[in-house]
């Protein structure tokens, strides 16, 4: 992880903080480069650092005993890793790893927790964020059960694009299959269908969103429901 001067404005949570609370955190901020596949939270290991993505994307993955797994949430520039720390849970069962490499701001969990406990604006902002994490988790459960692969793939691509602030999303078939909890052939065919309609361009793990509005219309209602909730709480 390379470190240089932090730019908190790139993360929506940090960008909403009043100057006085940001000043309490700023001396403890480190802007770091996260590599693809890097595990930033391990199951049942106390969480020491919180990461606020700037243009990277983190994935929370639930894995079953037979090795099958599905993404239960993602974290981009709208959020932060390590919510269990705020809730006094210290650790969690689910690993969090870097899905799309990029930059994030790292702050020691104990520092954020201390400012959170003061009960100021940071606490209000992070409480609202915790609410959106619950909304995303609930919506994702229903989505994985009820919506077809094509609509879920469109939703995932849009949410990831929002999370990293780019219309280019680097992700392989293999990871997309894990993220969506489906077989590779399903991902391939869903991507083929979106590409046939010229909504995306997919070449060797590099997806470009070509027609965003049309892709939004192809996504399931979950994308819009979650986005509206973020906008309601953070705009």
Closest distance to another protein from the beta carbon of 191 (Å): 4
Bridge-partner residues for 168, per DSSP? 208
Contact (CB, 8 A) for 165 and 175:
no
Q: Which is nearer to another protein, 34 or 151 (CB)?
A: 151
Beginning with the edge strand found earlier in the chain, give each strand of the sheet holding 39-41 in spatial order: 39-41, 96-100, 57-63, 69-75
Q: Which is nearer to another protein, 196 or 231 (CB)?
A: 196
Closest distance to another protein from the beta carbon of 212 (Å): 18
Q: Which is nearer to another protein, 167 or 193 (CB)?
A: 193
Closest distance to another protein from the beta carbon of 138 (Å): 21
Closest distance to another protein from the beta carbon of 150 (Å): 6
Neighbours of 123 (CB within 10 A): 15
Q: How many Å separate Cα 124 from the centre of its chain?
A: 20
Backbone angles phi and psi of 10, in degrees to 5: -75, -10
Closest distance to another protein from the beta carbon of 185 (Å): 5
Sites of contact with another protein (CB under 8 A): 148-150, 172-174, 182-186, 188-196, 202-205
Q: Which is nearer to another protein, 7 or 185 (CB)?
A: 185
Helix (H) or strand (E) holding 73: strand 69-75
Q: How far is CA 155 from CA 7, 13, 38, 52, 159, in A?
A: 28, 22, 24, 22, 6
């Amino acid at each position: 992880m390379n470190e240089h001067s932090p730019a908190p404005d790139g993360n929506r949570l940090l960008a909403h903080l009043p100057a006085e609370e940001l000043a309490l955190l700023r001396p403890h901020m480190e802007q770091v480069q996260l590599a693809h596949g890097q595990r930033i939270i391990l199951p049942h290991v106390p969480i020491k650092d919180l990461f606020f993505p700037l243009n990277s994307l983190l994935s929370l993955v639930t894995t079953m005993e037979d090795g099958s797994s599905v993404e239960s949430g993602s974290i981009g520039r709208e959020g932060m890793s390590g919510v269990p720390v705020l809730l006094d849970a210290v650790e969690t069962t689910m690993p969090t790893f870097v899905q799309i490499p990029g930059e994030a701001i790292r702050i020691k969990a104990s520092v954020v927790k201390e400012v959170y406990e003061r009960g100021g604006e940071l606490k209000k902002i992070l409480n609202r964020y915790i609410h959106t994490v619950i909304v995303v988790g609930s919506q994702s459960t229903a989505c994985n059960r009820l919506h077809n692969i094509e609509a879920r793939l469109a939703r995932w691509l849009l949410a990831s694009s929002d999370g990293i602030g780019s219309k280019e999303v680097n992700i392989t078939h293999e990871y997309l299959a894990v993220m969506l909890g489906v077989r590779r052939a399903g991902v391939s065919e869903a991507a083929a269908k979106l590409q046939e309609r010229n909504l995306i361009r997919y070449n060797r793990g590099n997806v470009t969103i070509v027609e965003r509005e049309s892709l939004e219309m192809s996504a399931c209602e979950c994308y819009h429901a979650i986005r509206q909730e973020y906008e309601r709480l953070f705009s």
